Structure 1
Amino acid sequence: MCNQKSEVSQPPAQPPSSIQLDEIYRFDDEGGAIDILQPDLPAPWINYLSNGTLHAFVSQAGGGFTWRKSPVTGRLTRYRMQNLPVDSPGFYIYLRHVDGSTWSPTFRPCEVRPDSWSARHEPGLTRFRAEYKGLEAVLTLFVAPNSDTLIWDLELTAHSEDSIEVDVFAYVELSQMMWQREQFHGYYWRHMLNVWWDPKLQTLIYLDHNQFHPKIDEVPLVYFASDKAVDSYSGDRDAFIGSYRTERTPQAIERGHCGNEELSTGEACGALHRKLILSPGKTNRLSFYLGTITGALVDFKTAKKEVEIQLEKLRQPDRIIKELTVLKDWWSEHLSHFKCELPDADAQRQINLWGPVNCVQTARYSRSVNANAPGIRGIGFRDSCQDMLAMVSRKPNWARELFLKLLSKQYQDGHTVHMIPLDETAMPGINTHSDNHLWLPFLAYAILAETGDRVFFEKTVPWLAKDHLHTEGEATVWQHLLAAVKFTQNNRGTHGLPLTLAGDWNDIIGRFSTRGLGESIFAGQQYVLALQYMIEMAEYLNDNTSLTWLQNCRQEQERSIAEHGWDGAWWRRGYDDDGKAIGSHNCTYGKLFLNPQSWSVLSNTGSRSQQEASMQTVYEQLNTPMGVKKLTPGFPTWPEDQDPFTGYGPGCGENGAVFCHAHAWAVIAEASLGNSERAWLYYRELMPHLALKTAGLERYQGEPYAWASNIVGPENARSGWANVTHISGTAAWMDVAATQYLLGVRPELEGLRLAPCVPADWKNFTVQRILRDCKLTINFTLNSPKPIHKYLIRVDGEELSSDVENLIPYNFFPAKSSRTLDVFVK
């Protein structure tokens, strides 16, 4: 625990416009939502809808797409990445009045401004509410938990003295499933699909019978149906939209009905039309279902029968309410595992709600899919290891399952693949980095600390064969972890540091190691911390033989870092092929890199004075009003440098941007040093809502509820642009930073460590935490500004002995019970 007086940071940049943000969006903390009040934002602000198998994202303007399992091989609907018009197509409702005027409750695609409008994102659900010409429309989009169906629930209310006659159209553009291959071959493959109307089931059915699909048994029947009989339909995109038109003015809408087109070649869509007459003050409900049943090319009759069964269930009275209840219960349970009450409302909101929501997204999608990323990027090995650090406490089984899958992508020499393709028949990314395998002990330690499950480490997992696709032999989980250590131990350079290989966590560092001789000090620090976790696990698992070897490895690596890492005022980044220091005061560019400074603290390498001095240098030279830059100064690129270090321009990406994932480690480092004010300064700088306020809406553009991957740095004219959101390692590490280091509730192998690091003016705060199936309420009372503290802890009113200090053994937390901890920090 640490309390210190505030320090003055750089003055924040002024927003570039006078826009009042509360006119753009408002958080509903009690309702667990954000209300967006302006549809045409500088960028799509999206929300993910999912049941774990069927996925979608939808923006505040109704743009988005749907996929089953993989956005590479299971894409059901289209979305045009990087193209104009932006954020289209999506999940569209057209409301056409008798005078021909047409509008959409999502704003897009018609772009007619309703008299009132809002979009509301909640976990797993988005609701649009709009009113125009006396007609109120409420459209709710979510994926049904009990079927692979995207539900469009539409409520229409007439606020008028007279009845309102309206034509309702629901529209979605259908994809050819295999998105990447569709870009190359779609003009041929459009001859390999059918859309037809089934009068008995009252549904459009779409079948893409492309025989090139890598998993024939996964090919679905796609249905687009309503809970009411429809008046017209179309399965032909070009017939519905019309030549040289867009979704904004389809010819079918203009004439007031679809042409009842089926399709056996061409561009597929789903369009359903229903004519309604709304009585004054009355509400009509109309639902649409976009869903899938797999196995259509293996057993068509069975798949068709399953569509019938599924639609019968979906059309039952109150079915939508039941599905919504299950969805909300899932999210409520997920969010119940860690809650806090803080004097800081912005931090409380991010820690309790939006951070954990973001962590589910990265656990599901890694770095693959958002409004800019089409989903072709696979599951990064090291990415998923880190993403699961935030999921262990909430979904330990999920973390264990993915951990075992990752282990199966490890070779017998201990290194791992770099990327696991979403198309599982494709070759994995096999570049050998110095860090991929080293993240395994981090996740293993978190699982063991959270669950205490020793037996898990006795499970056997196959090795990946040298052909990169099959398996050969097997070993226990613990043996896999030891192999990871052996790989690094066997692949060190002339300074005794890990070889950089194709790169470390910072991919572009591989540019300094094209001949394979470069070394990474950052990877050395990571190796030391991985070894520390391995040492503690060896003791816990009673493996004394490995324990001695691991201790020797750690001591050896610490000596190498101490001898070759310090540059006089900060830690070097590493060495190139020729043995020249990277990240040194002698360098023209990239004199100072962030990661070796923060990781000297995380790994506890070097002296305390060196750690403090290097982090002070970070504050003075790398900190900006919107976060800590990754390095300084940025490297020049083409055309200034014909053989540049990186193609990234200065201030972009890994070349001097605020790389938010790395920034999270600076938060942990400062908290570990006891610098509470600076730790919280860094945390708050990057909080999306506050970063947006600092940069201004037009410059920041990203969502105020989703962690960014990077923010363009001050060496670039677009400084302040949060250009990748949601799919970032920032989410997991900021969750770890906040819950375990700032609020200080940290599971270790022997017990729960309580070591909060909060601002000096905080007098108390509360954390609720489920640990090993025990519900904990932890009340912190803070009475000391000193960096060294004594703890008085009561469990259910009974004071613990002083020798327990701030590590409480797990035997105080019986499963299926509840405990109240009163923690007095003196």
Structure 2
Amino acid sequence: MKYGHFSDDGKEFVITNVKTPTPWINYIYNANYFATISNNAGGISYYKNPLHGRITRYRINDVPPDRPGKYIYIKDNDTGEIWSLSWQPVGKNPEAYKVAHGFGYTRIDSNIEGIESSVLYFVPLDDNREIWKATIKNNSDKKRRLSIFGYVEFALGHGLIDIINQCDDQHFNRVYFDQKSNSLFATKTYWVTQSSGTQQQENKEWDQWAYFTVNQPAAKYETLRERFIGLYRNENNPEAIETGNLSCKDTDFGNTVGALQTDVELQPGESKDVIFSLGVIQKTEFEQKKNTTPQLFNDVKVVDKALQDVKTRWNDFFDSARTKTPDDEVNTFMNYWIQYQSKVAFDVGRVASFYYWGISRGFGFRDTSQDVIAVTISQPEKAYERILFLARQMFTDGRAYHHFYNDGNGELTKHCDDPLWFILAVTEYIKETGDISILVQEVPFVDRKEGTVLEHLFAVVKFVKNNLAKHNLPVFGRGDWNDTLDYIGGEDGGESVWGAMFYVAMLNRFIELLNHVNIDSTEVEELRNTISESIDQYCWDGEWYIRAFGAKDKRIGSKENKYGKIFINTQSWPVIAELPDQQRLISSLDSAKKYLDSEIGPKICAPAFREIDLNIGLITRCVAGKKENAAVFNHPTTWLIQAECMMGRGNNAFEYFKKLLPNSIDSDIYHAEPYVYSQYITSDEHPTAGKASHSWQTGTAAWMYRISFDYILGVRPTYTGLQIDPAIPSEWKYFVVERIFRGTKYIIEIENPEGVEKGVVSISIDGNRIDGNILPRTNAKECKVKAVMGKENTVDSVSNKKNYDLKLK
């Protein structure tokens, strides 16, 4: 690749060209402290919440981009030369340069003017700080006198106010240098806490002190941006570094910064570690900790141990699901980078990034529910906590906040799909763990003080009953999974066909759970049957299923339409919902392949809308070929992959999987990071086809993680054990899956001597053949499993499908 490559072990993405098409970032964080770091040291830092807990400023859509950041400057005091250890912000071209993004850390190596440097950025597991460890070595043949400057720009407290009312907000900033602790301390005397930024605010101060410190004596410091940068300049040529005149003055207003200068002398071949720390201390503990906390990571051995702890934590996460397939690229993504991105999305949410300020969305009920499936395998306790958190956002009538914050504030938007995702999260957790006790766990509703998780699930069924329109399909409301179909039906309202399929799929899950715990499911089955009958009675269009009914029963996603004739979700979800007409399911998948697929992946719909339609909504206002208007939208393609696997079409499934790998398109076209998924890729309906956007923060990763292991590799959890049911490319003859399930490590070898896409003829455990394709539960620490695939499928495949009687018309 032109800009970089994976390391030999697959655990780092190494960037070798400084001028990446966009900033390529990484996330470094723990449970409370979060930061992003780009290949040029740009990024944001915040404590707990990017809306209320900003520490540093980051300007979205700025020129130049990716500023400000976490910068370390060097000045040669003999020559006057100035550069940064990252290529930006100074922009001095290095003789050698390499950036390695790893799991929870980033390392930037460079060689400029005979000075070799390596700066490591990471956040320790249990400390509210980020560490910048810079190792600086003199590779020249003479003594070097250097000044080293660490620099951050503060944005203390509320992120929105820092943007829209900075002129007033700056009057509450306070920054001072403390000689005893060798640290700058920064806080705010007035803290806006309401999410909306309303003038009705509490009379309180920010509850944190931020600190910026260095393990070497600080020779000088600066606290005000104008004094450090200078007028009509930016971060690439700070006046204070150029002149050497850092003011050493505290400040009580303005655009506050933290700048620390330390001076070193290096003999030829000598190196020195300079460690900067940026963190926060609770105000209630400040007097007690201010002289000790900043210095806790001043020692190199302590820093190295903390980094190793971060690496160990991530290795433990990856250990629960691993594979060795014939495709090394697939192994790298499945074993590491897909899992890594899915865990980052779970921990960070859809908040601060290169694309988002992190000030408007909070948690999404739909997003958060789907993120849960990424951690049930490795961290079920985290999934458990998140499920209870989701339950607290639900009402007794089954509605749920579409978006919400930790402070209890939420927004009801009338999306027709939100509550149903709760069923997905709960059933996946129980299938993985076997823990049915969660069903009786008490957790309040928004409008009632108590209720069990099971009662929350039945509330979802109540929501379904109350949200059906005249065709017994869901009322569209302000959207379903596709938020841009927000005015389907205009004032008269519309009905979501995908929503109906989704309802059936989730009700199937709930019915299976009820049967597992011996609770009568008759009422739920009848509701499921009613919706399923309506789909097949009203929604077939000849070759595929339509997307919706609009105003006056206009069919949307139909061959009779000029634009948006076919949508991807209503071709995959009939299979996932296990609708009964097999020929229609095959035709739907064939139609998706024929009308939606392209060289870079299947489009979310086709053809793109090119005229505004007030009775459809935002999708028709978006430029053709981007976002929901006929882009290659990665998230729904994961469901198409699952559907192809369920129908036994492993070649098609794997073809889609490979097309969507982030490094499958040339980076000069793709632009976004080639090691994580983006939300979408511009399709061939736009001149910039192949360009990706909105990386990292997408549900694609969680689904691709689970679908790749559960359906392509075919090792997935059920209530009674692990099921073996691969759907692979026919060219694969052999692969291995290692899977930890309920305390047992299963080493599963799968042979495919006849080159089939699906079908298992035999399974043995530790040499003993078993009946069926579900591995029986065991107390053993490790089991060796051998499965053989073949054309004569002699192992009964277990399915969640119910043989209910549908009266088709």
TM-score class normalised by the smaller sequence? over 0.9
Distance 1:333 1:645 in 2: 42
Q: CA deviation at 1:439?
A: 0.8
CA contact (8 A) 1:709 1:724 kept: yes
Aligned to 2:507: 531
Structure 1 residue corresponding to 2:484, chosen from 499, 508, 513: 508
CA contact (8 A) 1:740 1:746 kept: yes
Structure 1 residue corresponding to 2:152, chosen from 154, 172, 175: 172
Moved more, 270-279 or 27-36: 27-36
Aligned to 2:799: none
Which letter maps to 1:276?
A: V
Name the SS of the counterpart of 1:223 in structure 2: strand
Structure 1 residue corresponding to 2:321, chosen from 338, 347, 372: 338
CA contact (8 A) 2:650 2:757 kept: no
CA contact (8 A) 2:317 2:378 kept: yes
Aligned to 2:786: 822
Structure 2 unaligned runs (5+)? 195-201, 791-809
Structure 1 unaligned runs (5+)? 1-20, 466-471
CA contact (8 A) 1:164 1:277 kept: yes
Which letter maps to 2:786?
A: D
Distance 1:645 1:822 in 2: 48
Distance 1:53 1:723 in 2: 27
Distance 1:620 1:371 in 2: 35
Distance 2:542 2:410 in 1: 42
Distance 1:150 1:717 in 2: 41
Which letter maps to 1:808?
A: L
Distance 1:96 1:825 in 2: 65
Structure 2 residue corresponding to 1:249, chosen from 237, 240, 253: 237
- Given the superposition, is the C-alpha separation of residues 523 and 222 from structure 1 closer, same or farther in structure 2, using an over 3 Å criterion? same
Aligned to 1:221: 209
CA contact (8 A) 1:500 1:516 kept: no
Name the SS of the counterpart of 1:589 in structure 2: coil
2:355 maps to 1:372: yes
Q: CA deviation at 1:517?
A: 3.4
Alignment TM-score, normalising by the size of structure 2: 0.94
Which letter maps to 2:5?
A: R
Name the SS of the counterpart of 1:190 in structure 2: helix
Which letter maps to 2:785?
A: L
Structure 2 residue corresponding to 1:117, chosen from 87, 97, 122: 97
Q: CA deviation at 1:283?
A: 1.4
Q: CA deviation at 1:243?
A: 1.0
Aligned to 2:292: 309
CA contact (8 A) 1:146 1:323 kept: no
CA contact (8 A) 1:791 1:805 kept: no
Q: CA deviation at 1:758?
A: 1.2
Which letter maps to 1:563?
A: Q
Distance 1:368 1:785 in 2: 44
CA contact (8 A) 2:97 2:108 kept: yes
Q: CA deviation at 1:661?
A: 0.4
Q: CA deviation at 1:638?
A: 5.8
- Given the superposition, is the C-alpha separation of residues 86 and 703 from structure 1 closer, same or farther in structure 2, using an over 3 Å criterion? same
2:497 maps to 1:518: no
Distance 1:138 1:787 in 2: 48
Aligned to 1:390: 374
Aligned to 1:493: 469
Q: CA deviation at 1:317?
A: 5.4
Distance 1:730 1:81 in 2: 23
Q: CA deviation at 1:176?
A: 2.8
2:377 maps to 1:407: no
For residues 538-577 of structure 1, the C-alpha deviation after alignment (integer angstroms, 9 at most, x for no partner) is 0111112xx1111111211111111011111100112113
Distance 1:203 1:616 in 2: 64
Q: CA deviation at 1:63?
A: 0.7
Q: CA deviation at 1:675?
A: 1.0
For residues 614-653 of structure 1, the C-alpha deviation after alignment (integer angstroms, 9 at most, x for no partner) is 1111111101111110111111246999997632111121
Which letter maps to 2:387?
A: F
2:635 maps to 1:635: no
- Given the superposition, is the C-alpha separation of residues 674 and 217 from structure 1 closer, same or farther in structure 2, using an over 3 Å criterion? farther
For residues 558-599 of structure 1, the C-alpha deviation after alignment (integer angstroms, 9 at most, x for no partner) is 111110111111001121131121111111111111100010
Name the SS of the counterpart of 2:291 in structure 1: helix
2:772 maps to 1:805: yes
Aligned to 1:9: none
Which letter maps to 2:280?
A: T
Structure 2 residue corresponding to 1:278, chosen from 262, 266, 269: 266
Which letter maps to 2:268?
A: P
Moved more, 302-311 or 68-77: 302-311
Aligned to 1:150: 130
Which letter maps to 1:108?
A: Q
Alignment TM-score, normalising by the size of structure 1: 0.92
Distance 1:34 1:689 in 2: 11
Q: CA deviation at 1:178?
A: 0.8
The number of residue pairs the alignment matches comes to 780
For residues 295-326 of structure 1, the C-alpha deviation after alignment (integer angstroms, 9 at most, x for no partner) is x2xx3xx3132232313422345110121121
2:658 maps to 1:701: no
Q: CA deviation at 1:786?
A: 4.4
Aligned to 1:562: 536
Aligned to 1:762: 732
Distance 1:624 1:788 in 2: 25
- Given the superposition, is the C-alpha separation of residues 614 and 31 from structure 1 closer, same or farther in structure 2, using an over 3 Å criterion? closer
Structure 2 residue corresponding to 1:655, chosen from 624, 629, 650: 629
Distance 2:81 2:646 in 1: 61
CA contact (8 A) 1:501 1:516 kept: no
Aligned to 1:291: 279
- Given the superposition, is the C-alpha separation of residues 627 and 61 from structure 1 closer, same or farther in structure 2, using an over 3 Å criterion? same
Name the SS of the counterpart of 1:510 in structure 2: coil
Which letter maps to 2:565?
A: K
For residues 140-163 of structure 1, the C-alpha deviation after alignment (integer angstroms, 9 at most, x for no partner) is 000121211110101011112211
Distance 1:774 1:415 in 2: 38
For residues 380-415 of structure 1, the C-alpha deviation after alignment (integer angstroms, 9 at most, x for no partner) is 100111111121111111111111111111111111
- Given the superposition, is the C-alpha separation of residues 821 and 178 from structure 1 closer, same or farther in structure 2, using an over 3 Å criterion? same
CA contact (8 A) 2:191 2:205 kept: no
2:433 maps to 1:451: yes
More relative contact order, 1 or 2 (CA 8 Å, 6+ apart): 1
CA contact (8 A) 1:637 1:649 kept: no
CA contact (8 A) 1:383 1:729 kept: yes
Distance 1:452 1:390 in 2: 17
CA contact (8 A) 1:765 1:780 kept: yes
Structure 2 residue corresponding to 1:580, chosen from 554, 557, 560: 554
Distance 2:363 2:758 in 1: 42
2:459 maps to 1:483: yes
- Given the superposition, is the C-alpha separation of residues 643 and 765 from structure 1 closer, same or farther in structure 2, using an over 3 Å criterion? closer
Q: CA deviation at 1:713?
A: 1.5
**Mapping 1:12-31, distance limit 5 Å:** 21=1, 23-30=2-9
Distance 1:590 1:450 in 2: 38
Aligned to 1:202: 182
For residues 342-379 of structure 1, the C-alpha deviation after alignment (integer angstroms, 9 at most, x for no partner) is 11111111111110110111112222221111112221
Q: CA deviation at 1:421?
A: 3.0
CA contact (8 A) 1:369 1:727 kept: no
CA contact (8 A) 1:502 1:513 kept: no
Moved more, 212-221 or 345-354: 212-221
Distance 2:42 2:168 in 1: 27
Aligned to 2:648: 674
Sequence identity percentage? 29
Distance 1:87 1:759 in 2: 41
Name the SS of the counterpart of 1:263 in structure 2: coil
Which letter maps to 1:513?
A: G
CA contact (8 A) 1:601 1:669 kept: yes
Distance 2:365 2:615 in 1: 33
- Given the superposition, is the C-alpha separation of residues 344 and 278 from structure 1 closer, same or farther in structure 2, using an over 3 Å criterion? same
Distance 2:79 2:473 in 1: 75
Name the SS of the counterpart of 2:290 in structure 1: helix
Q: CA deviation at 1:763?
A: 1.2
CA contact (8 A) 2:487 2:493 kept: no
Distance 1:725 1:414 in 2: 32
Which letter maps to 2:696?
A: H
Distance 1:640 1:177 in 2: 40
